[in-house]
Chain A
Amino acid sequence: MRPTLLAITCLLLTGCTAFRATDSTVAHRHTRLTVNIPPGWYVESLDPVAVLSRNGPPLQRITISATPLGRPLAGTQRTYNDGMLPNEVADLALGLVEATPGHANFARLRLEFDQLAGADAFAAEATFVDASGLPKRLRLHGATLLGHIIQVAYEAADAVYYEMDLAAFENLLESARITTN
């Protein structure tokens, strides 16, 4: 069976997207990282990454991804590896955002130590101009958890939306946890 057909069959039979959602939560199937969906936000997609938004992804979005350690990454020869310090994970993650086609004027504003779902993590903030010319502000939090690099990112139009929805993002971060079922 062709891989594409296999994937579609799998999707139809089991609904095996990388993430699954309930009315109030989104969870990664493999690591069981779970976050609460902010009130008023909707789930835009669940595969390969979870994307949440309130007014539409071009204006503001929260993206949750889980990348297995060692998996080849598009756009770089580097990979996430076991034993990387949080700053090394941040360097790679931010480098990928910077190298995204159409992104310009990328600036790293700060990098901090943080916790994500109980694990040592980084918290980074950056600004850039996206492919449509819109100035964006980014918060990116990442940690190594259960053989994956977990990243939770908040990206919004810098002018109005970033500040407006920042509290919703921080609440979502606070809610991040590893569930047992």
Chain B
Amino acid sequence: MRSYPLPFFLLLLTACSSNLTPFGPGNVVELDQDEQRLWQMSRGEMDELSASGLRYRNPAMQEYVESVLETLLGGNEGAYLPLEPRVVIVDVPVVNAACYPSGDIYLHTAILGRMRNEAQLAMILGHELTHATHRHTHRRQSKTYAASGAITYAAVLASIVSGKLGTGIQKVGGVIARAAIEGYGRDLEREADRVGLTLAAQAGYDPAAASQMFDRMRAAAEKPSNSRSALLFYASHPRMTERAENCRRLVRTLSPELRSHAKRVGEQRYVEVFHDLIFDEAEQHVAQGRFDLVADTAAFLRRTRPSDPRTGVLLGDLKRHEGDLVGAREAFEQALQRVPSNAAAHRGLGLVAAKQGDAATAIRHLRRYLALAGDASDRGYIESFVEQLTRVE
């Protein structure tokens, strides 16, 4: 048998897989051998991820994200076979989303807390779905093989399969491997943006509102202080600024007909479903000192959740950290007017009153906090603090 040089085979491999027919209406697609192997490995990893305990089980959220995915697919899931798109929420406090080659989309709780409306959710689902419909993992794996040889290709697959990384965050990063951590490379990410945005618009979502998703991601990712996000989120994607700009350009290229039809934003419904995650993110930003982001979220919640006592507590915390004790006190008092049994508001008001030298008010509210908060981790501290204030008083 004649021996051919290795680059010849690599060229063949690349040529075979760079123009793959996407899954979707009107297309009949058969998986080649490499892709079948890729799907098989992915299914193993999905099983491992399902067993890892990272799945976030909230029926209302699950039902909601599934309904948005169905809207995107136009009620025509069968047209995507053998792809079976579905969406899974995982409890990971780092902004990210990823998609397996066979159509399982993973949304981190952190990215759901970062978004603000259903149009943005549709955009990210459309983007991730495109990675599966347009077979990006397969295309990228083949490119990697062609460019770097079997060792790198094997290493990529081994890292996907092994999943032997320790922590929850690393586990998600490990199983989705390079695709989730690095993205699919600039060209494929742009394709996902374009197709995802078009899908969202065709489903009736306002593309301008949808494209703002990348602005929101950029706001959280661009600061060096946000080091945890930097571990995972789209590390080698085109820079968020560029992607946000690219999406704005894409919006302008959509037909006027489509743009006039696509007006749905879905802010109120989104906030009703995901307000807990939005508050979680804001609390995380308070801990990180990201007061610019906290202020942005607080303003958003004042508009969309004005009667939620947590909005008042968030505002109070923000003002307390900014040194505005009078403003903080007002915010906590307003939160208590709405819900007199809000433990966090009593705690906040008590600590602010103590700083203002108003020991009597501080003692009263901190005692109320102790009565309401049960086994709070700072119980010991607050008890001692109340004792100290009582002695001073």
Contact = CB atoms under 8 A, between A and B. Distances in A.
A76 B288 contact: yes
Nearest to A100: B227
A101 interface: yes
B186 interface: no
B381 A133 contact: no
A71 interface: no
A171 B313 CA distance: 40
Given A76-B289, A77-B291, A104 B169 contact: yes
A113 B378 contact: no
A108 B283 CA distance: 14
B289 A101 contact: no
A87 B385 contact: yes
Contact of A99 (B166, B228, B354, B385): B228
Interface residues of B, number: 29
Contacts of B379: 110
Contacts of B384: 112-113
B168 interface: yes
A76 B381 contact: no
A69 to B, nearest CB: 14
B304 to A, nearest CB: 25
A142 interface: no
Interface string A59-84: 00000000000000111111000010
A67 B166 CA distance: 32
Interface in A113-137: 113, 122, 129, 131-134
Find the residue from A76, A122, A132, A134 having the highest chain B CB count within 10 A. A76
Contacts of A92: 289
B377 A87 contact: no
**B interface majority secondary structure:** helix
A102 interface: yes
Contacts of B381: 86-87, 90, 111-113, 122
Contacts, number: 82
B167 interface: yes
Contacts of B40: none
Interface in B360-393: 377-381, 384-385, 388
A15 interface: no
Contacts of B288: 75-76, 95, 99
B305 to A, nearest CB: 24
A133 B169 CA distance: 10
Contacts of B355: 83, 85
A87 B378 CA distance: 9
A75 B230 CA distance: 12
A109 interface: yes
A95 B287 contact: yes
A91 interface: yes
Contacts of B354: 85
Contact of B388 (A91, A99, A113): A113
Nearest to A110: B377
A105 B53 CA distance: 13
Given A76-B289, A90-B381, 10 more contacts: A76-B288, A95-B287, A102-B231, A104-B167, A104-B169, A108-B377, A109-B377, A110-B380, A133-B166, A133-B167
25 contacts: A73-B289, A76-B289, A77-B290, A78-B321, A85-B351, A85-B355, A87-B385, A94-B287, A101-B230, A101-B231, A104-B167, A104-B169, A110-B380, A111-B378, A111-B380, A111-B381, A112-B384, A113-B380, A113-B381, A113-B384, A113-B385, A129-B166, A131-B167, A133-B166, A133-B170
Interface of A: 73-78, 83, 85-87, 90-92, 94-95, 98-102, 104-105, 108-113, 122, 129, 131-134
Q: Give the 4 A-B residue pairs with the shortest CB-CB distance, closest first.
A: A133-B166, A113-B384, A76-B289, A78-B289
